[in-house]
């Protein structure tokens, strides 16, 4: 007896739902890569074919402050997945080599190499691993040609051997443990190098740069923002990476204090009276005595700087619960005559109300709001609204990141009074002896 048509359709829908549920557990939705569980049979055949197979364990070294965002093509996991798959098409990996994720949603990748490709002795395995590392870097650069750091990763290598007395799963887990242990040792050595590098910078190796903030009508500098970074050519030349590292090791305030001392000691040599000094200050550091308390005031006075010429540029937002606490600190600084700027306006603060309560003297717009301004009507309308808000609360607007004449014309046309960026003036390096803390 034939099933009714509705029953057949119901069975089909049920099977389809079961398949989708199964697939969700064995295929990663963000990268489209299979998981280890899904490729286990293929790994078994690869090992039996040659008696051995190479295993490469690739662990993305995701920064603590960079959560996964699989919806973005620039997410490191998505980029890495695409890079490994491109190596199978363009060379670097063989067509029968296997690429997978450890599990759904993981940032740990596995590459299984045929026995004649994996290298069965340590020297050839190390050579193969080095070559694969370079190939992955090359593939990532092709996928992300614009400037900026590429996803960092660590590699570990081991072998699977065919053993009639040992199940493939058992052999695989032994090999995986060995490869993971290699990446752990690499991570430990890397952490020690970074810790030592941070110690050297905290001992006085920070580099200080001044970048002018320009009056767009008269094209003269009304202030200078101070940037700090590590020594040129070193791993912490990028300031954001340096401060992220200090935060990870719990030494962010120590670094900010050092940068603050250098900035203040060099300011009187390089700034004319009446020109503002913009000091970057994390929201958390506002509660530190050396940044926003009596010790800070004494440092400013010791350098002969007028309080009204010093602007604390607050970076990063804070929660609703913390708002009142920070507001009291800011109000006291303003009573002492200091000025306050809010950095990344529109990006780091949860609401316009929170912005108004801080009573800022300057609003700096995030570079992402300025960059597409000349061609993006929505971004232009947003900036127009923020310019109107600044006029109502008595703050002056700074458009940061101006890198072309078109961007300069666009922000000037909106009535933005102040600008900053390489098109106007690049940062200027302050010699170490001028910024000495000793």
Query: Strands 418-419 and 207-215, how do they pair?
Result: antiparallel
pLDDT at residue number 117: 53
pLDDT at residue number 354: 61
Say whether 378 sits in a helix, a strand or coil: helix
pLDDT at residue number 62: 59
pLDDT at residue number 66: 45
> Which DSSP string do the residues of 126-191 spell out, in sequence order?
HHHHHHHHHHHHHHHHHH--SSSPPPPEEEEEEEEE--TTS-HHHHHHHHHHHHHHHHHHHHHHHH
pLDDT at residue number 58: 93
Classify 5-182 by CATH class: alpha beta
In degrees, to the nearest 5, what angle opens at C-alpha 330 toward C-alphas 329 and 333?
90
Q: How far apart are CA 85 and CA 80, in angstroms?
A: 9
Q: Minimal CA–CA distance to 55: which of 163, 182, 146, 153?
A: 182
Q: How far apart are CA 157 and CA 86, in angstroms?
A: 21
CATH 3.20.20.450 fits domain 204-430: yes
pLDDT at residue number 425: 92
Do domains 5-182 and 204-430 share one topology? The answer is no
Q: Minimal CA–CA distance to 109: which of 70, 66, 79, 142?
A: 79
Domain boundary assignment for the chain: 5-182, 204-430
pLDDT at residue number 309: 94
Can you read off the two tokens belonging to residue 340?
A: 């306050």
Tell me how long the chain is. Answer: 438
Q: Minimal CA–CA distance to 227: which of 214, 216, 240, 236?
A: 240
Q: Distances from the Cα of 233 to the Cαs of 112, 121, 186, in angstroms?
A: 36, 36, 22
pLDDT lower than 70: segments of the chain? 1-25, 62-74, 115-124, 145-149, 165-166, 316-321, 345-354, 356, 366-376, 378-379, 432-438
DSSP letter, residue 284: G
**Cα-trace Rg, the chain:** 28
Sign of the alpha-carbon dihedral angle for 411, 412, 417, 420:
positive
Chain-centre distance for alpha carbon 119? 36
Query: Strands 52-60 and 153-161, how do they pair?
Result: antiparallel
Greatest alpha-carbon span in the chain = 99
- Helices (H), ranges, 215-293: 239-248, 252-270, 289-292
pLDDT at residue number 276: 95
In this structure, are residues 42 and 95 in contact, taking their beta carbons and an 8 Å threshold? no
Q: How far apart are CA 412 and CA 241, in angstroms?
A: 32
In this structure, are residues 374 and 410 in contact, taking their beta carbons and an 8 Å threshold? yes
């Amino acid at each position: 007896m034939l099933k009714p048509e509705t029953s057949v359709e119901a069975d089909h829908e049920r099977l389809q739902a079961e398949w989708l549920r199964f697939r969700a557990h064995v295929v990663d939705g963000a990268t489209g890569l299979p998981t280890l569980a899904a490729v286990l049979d293929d790994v078994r055949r690869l090992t039996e074919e040659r008696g051995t197979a190479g295993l490469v364990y690739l662990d993305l070294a995701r920064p603590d402050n960079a959560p996964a965002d699989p919806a973005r093509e620039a997410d490191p996991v998505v980029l890495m997945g695409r890079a490994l798959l491109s190596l199978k098409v363009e060379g670097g990996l063989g067509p029968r080599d296997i690429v997978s994720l450890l599990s759904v949603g993981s940032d740990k990748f596995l590459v299984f190499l045929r026995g004649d490709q994996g290298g069965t002795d340590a020297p050839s395995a190390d050579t193969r691993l080095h070559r694969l590392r370079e190939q992955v870097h090359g593939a990532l650069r092709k996928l992300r040609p614009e400037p900026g750091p590429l996803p960092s990763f660590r590699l570990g290598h081991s072998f699977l051997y065919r053993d009639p007395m040992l199940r493939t799963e058992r052999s695989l887990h032994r090999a995986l443990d060995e490869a993971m242990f290699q990446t752990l040792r690499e991570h430990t050595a890397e952490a020690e190098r970074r810790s030592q590098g941070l110690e050297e910078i905290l001992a006085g190796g920070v580099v200080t740069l001044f970048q002018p903030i320009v009056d767009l009508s008269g094209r003269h500098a009304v202030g200078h923002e101070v940037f700090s970074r590590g020594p040129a050519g070193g791993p912490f030349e990028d300031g954001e990476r340096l401060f992220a590292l200090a935060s990870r090791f719990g030494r962010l305030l120590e670094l900010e204090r050092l940068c603050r001392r250098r900035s203040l000691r060099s300011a009187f040599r390089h700034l004319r009276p009446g020109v503002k000094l913009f000091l970057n200050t994390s929201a958390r550091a506002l509660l530190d005595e050396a940044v926003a308390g009596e010790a800070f005031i004494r440092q400013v006075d010791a350098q002969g700087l007028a309080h009204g010429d010093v602007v604390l540029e607050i970076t990063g937002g804070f929660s609703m619960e913390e708002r009142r606490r920070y507001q009291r600190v800011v109000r006291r600084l303003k009573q002492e005559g200091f000025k306050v700027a809010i950095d990344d306006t529109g990006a780091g603060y949860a609401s316009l109300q929170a912005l108004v309560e801080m009573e800022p003297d300057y609003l700096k717009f995030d570079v992402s709001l300025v960059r597409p301004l000349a061609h993006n009507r929505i971004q232009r309308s947003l900036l127009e609204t923020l310019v109107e808000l600044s006029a109502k609360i008595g703050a002056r607007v700074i458009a940061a990141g101006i890198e072309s004449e078109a961007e300069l014309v666009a922000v000037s046309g909106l009535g933005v009074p102040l600008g900053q960026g390489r098109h106007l003036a690049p940062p200027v390096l302050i010699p170490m002896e001028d910024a000495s803390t000793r």
